[in-house]
Amino acid sequence: MAFSKAVIPDKALERLSLADVASYRRKTKDIYDAWIADLNATAAKIDELSVEEVSEKAPQPATLRLSDLEGPFSIEWAQQPAAFGFAAKPFR
The answer to whether the beta carbons of residues 27 and 35 sit under 8 Å apart is no
Q: What is the pLDDT of residues 17-74, one digit of tens each?
A: 889 888 988 999 999 899 899 999 988 988 888 888 887 877 777 777 788 778 777 7
User: pTM surpassing 0.85?
Assistant: no
CA dist 42 and 74 (Å) reads: 23
pLDDT for residue 2: 47
pLDDT for residue 89: 60
pLDDT for residue 70: 80
Question: In sequence order, what DSSP letters do the residues of the chain get, joined into one string?
Answer: -HHHHHHS-HHHHHT--HHHHHHHHHHHHHHHHHHHHHHHHHHHHHHTS-HHHHHHHSPPPTT--HHHHHS---S-GGGHHHHTTPPS-TT-
∠ Cα 79 39 7 (to 5°): 50
CA dist 84 and 25 (Å) reads: 31
Across the range 68-83, mean pLDDT stands at 77
